[in-house]
Structure 1
Amino acid sequence: MRYFIALVVCFSLIIPNFTSKAFAGEQENVYERRMELYKRVEAVTNLPWYYMAAIDQYERSIRLARKDLPKAEGLSGIYFRPEEWAGLLNPDIQDTNPVSIQFFNGIGFDGNGDGKADVRDDEDVLHAFAQYLLTYGTDHDNIKIGLWNYYKRDKTVGIIIGKAKIYKHFGRLDLEQHAFPVPLRSNHSYKNTWGDARGWGGRRIHEGTDIFAGYGVPVRATGYGIVEMKGWNRFGGWRVGIRDINNTYHYFAHLSGFAKDLQVGQVVEPGQVIGGVGSSGYGPPGTSGKFPPHLHYGMYKDNGYTEWSFDPYPHLRLWSREERARLKKG
């Protein structure tokens, strides 16, 4: 019986490790296949791959954040409504004939040369969006114009261009690693304060997690992203906002100051120092010391229409465990 229990324990330790490795391998394969797809589109259209990757990732993110859009099933996350693909006046919204789709001014396109413009085919979908952009041009400014005319939203254009900059900077798609906002070896503490009441400046709820640490303890970027905002707010004091490739906005507030040369539009990576823990805020610019030093950390999701906050506490716990595991391996 003891031997049987020992075997069960061994398998319980081995199987999760094997499963996690298998999942990691599968994810790596997905990134490779997507990159191959983007590169093939680039070779035909001369549109830089990182723009297509950014558009694809943006659409994938909003499909995950919204209930009115179907979840992505293939490699590509770009979604076209059936009538948009086939043409508004096309009597057959399931049409895959490139000739009739073009006749009805549909966006559908045969990207892989199989004679069909299939909205379920990843290559056809990516080429369809690429063909749309080509009507504006392949340079940065004209791509921005094309994106605005398609989405009709400045914020969406900014988010996509930011993602393109991130992908171009790192030259790869696998950018999912995260870091805890302050060094794990620092003296810090936090608990789930999501939704707690706050009174300064009017009755409101706490949209984040407070991480208490010593004044000046380094504050670090939690993921791969781009600095969208840097400056003062009467509530948050000196603060930084970073948008990651999953369309999540990470908010760091009450800072003592910013890292040297940190600029809006700068690409950052997990663990990169962006500032220091402080007690700034709750007043006009320069106000500090109204509360103990801590980092207010918030997370916000954009769905293509609006943006809302969500509880960062579970993510912080996960990132702490993951980083500790990496440190043990290293």
Structure 2
Amino acid sequence: MTCSLIFFLLFASPNISFGKEMSEEEAYQKRMELYKRVELTTQIPWYYIAAVDHYERSIRFVRKDIPKPGGITGIYIKPVQWAGWLNPNQTNPSLPSIELFNGFGIDGNGDGKANMNDDEDIIYSFANYILKYGIDEDHFRIALWNYYKRDRAVGLIMEKAKLYRHFGKLDLNAKTFPIPHRFNYSYRDTWGDRRGWGGRRIHEGTDIFAGYGVPVRSTCYGIVELKGWNKFGGWRVGIRDINNTYHYFAHLNGYAKDLHVGQIVEPGMLIGSVGSTGYGPPGTSGKFPPHLHYGMYKDNGYSEWSFDPYPHLRQWEWSDRKKRKN
């Protein structure tokens, strides 16, 4: 039994009860309570654990090869890994059996069992894995790489940790329409349309037509992953949100002052303005009417693909209008 687990069993408060029927706000509260208890017990910053948990939850909802989350936490540990690769009974929560076969699971709530379906056992088991490396950022990165064997996964988790640490809360799902409503604009569903410049390809986004210089805002809480020129998209910005979704803004006329890669943004923050740049070398402009090309891409832990942003834009537009009326 690890020192951290002994500390937990001696000083932890009574078990947290996780019901399946709870509001989103209640779920955030329960998760934060658990993350803070892990921090108190192990000294691992809560936002590190929260970042891993949310990364796993977000990929489980878009993957078919792993089960959907059953509790309020999202970390998935395969039964063979939890119980030990040579353990003949991979569903047995017996601690002696799991320890004998060098399994991943530990008892996180003091009930004498290591249950792979218990939220506290899962979180503390992963925290126990992190402790084998260290709790500072460099060792945390090493632990993540050895666990996921994917640089992209490490980067995405570190971005989430940065967001959670900056805002100090878990609810970072708010969205807004990229163009302020006081300006004239128009758009329709153009995702999947054919494009010819630069070779035959499909349109991976929605075009929002507006005048030159109309403000373009971040649609989400996120981190700027990309800024610069692309021969197709012209001056563009890429922002990754807390749910592994990449928001792509292209054909910009210019950027907001001091906007830079690695910057934390939030819904409604100015990032640039509408233009008609692209389809050529840096600085090319005017080959098409001014508009914002807005795209969305999802990372599932293995790869990234585009999906239609139009329904989301309509929803955010409606939500913004409702807020204005209220």
Same topology, TM > 0.5? yes
Equivalent residue of 2:61, what SS?
A: helix
Q: Distance in 1 between matches of 2:42 and 2:139?
A: 14
Match of 1:114 in 2: 111
Matched AA of 1:272: M
After TM superposition, the structure 1 = structure 2 runs for residues 5-84 of structure 1, keeping only pairs within 5 Å, are 26-84=23-81
Matched AA of 1:216: G
Matched AA of 1:159: L
Question: Which of the residues 278, 282, 292 maps onto 1:295?
Answer: 292
Q: Distance in 1 between matches of 2:261 and 2:129?
A: 30
1:126 aligns with 2:103: no
RMSD of aligned C-alpha atoms? 0.8
Matched AA of 1:102: E
Match of 2:220 in 1: 223
Deviation, 1:160, is: 0.5
1:102 aligns with 2:93: no
Q: Distance in 1 between matches of 2:218 and 2:128?
A: 36
After TM superposition, the structure 1 = structure 2 runs for residues 54-203 of structure 1, keeping only pairs within 5 Å, are 54-203=51-200
Q: Distance in 2 between matches of 1:117 and 1:97?
A: 6
Matched AA of 1:293: P
1:262 aligns with 2:259: yes
1:309 aligns with 2:306: yes
Number of residue equivalences: 305
Q: Distance in 1 between matches of 2:116 and 2:147?
A: 18
Q: Distance in 1 between matches of 2:71 and 2:181?
A: 38
Q: Provide, for residues 63-100 of structure 1, a one-character-per-residue CA deviation record: whole Å limited to 9, x for no partner.
A: 01111111001010000111110000001100212222
Match of 1:274 in 2: 271
Q: Distance in 2 between matches of 1:100 and 1:50?
A: 32
Match of 2:8 in 1: none
Q: Distance in 2 between matches of 1:267 and 1:169?
A: 8
Q: Distance in 2 between matches of 1:77 and 1:244?
A: 17
Q: Distance in 2 between matches of 1:322 and 1:152?
A: 40
Percent identical among aligned pairs is: 69
1:244 aligns with 2:241: yes
Matched AA of 1:124: D
Q: Provide, for residues 116-174 of structure 1, a one-character-per-residue CA deviation record: whole Å limited to 9, x for no partner.
A: 10011101101111111111100011101110111111111110000110111110011
Equivalent residue of 1:162, what SS?
A: helix
Q: Distance in 2 between matches of 1:54 and 1:249?
A: 17
Matched AA of 1:302: D
Deviation, 1:42, is: 0.7
Equivalent residue of 1:113, what SS?
A: coil
Equivalent residue of 2:54, what SS?
A: helix
Q: Distance in 2 between matches of 1:162 and 1:26?
A: 26
Match of 2:10 in 1: none
1:232 aligns with 2:225: no
Q: Distance in 2 between matches of 1:164 and 1:283?
A: 37
Give the alignment's TM-score, normalised by structure 1. 0.91
Matched AA of 1:213: A
Q: Distance in 1 between matches of 2:137 and 2:320?
A: 36
Name segments (4+ residues, structure 1) moved above 2 Å.
none
- Alignment gaps of 5+ in structure 2: 1-21
Q: Distance in 2 between matches of 1:171 and 1:125?
A: 23
Matched AA of 1:312: P
Matched AA of 1:27: E
Deviation, 1:185, is: 1.6
Deviation, 1:202, is: 0.1
Equivalent residue of 1:30, what SS?
A: helix
After TM superposition, the structure 1 = structure 2 runs for residues 202-213 of structure 1, keeping only pairs within 5 Å, are 202-213=199-210
Match of 2:319 in 1: 322
- Alignment gaps of 5+ in structure 1: 1-24
Matched AA of 2:51: A
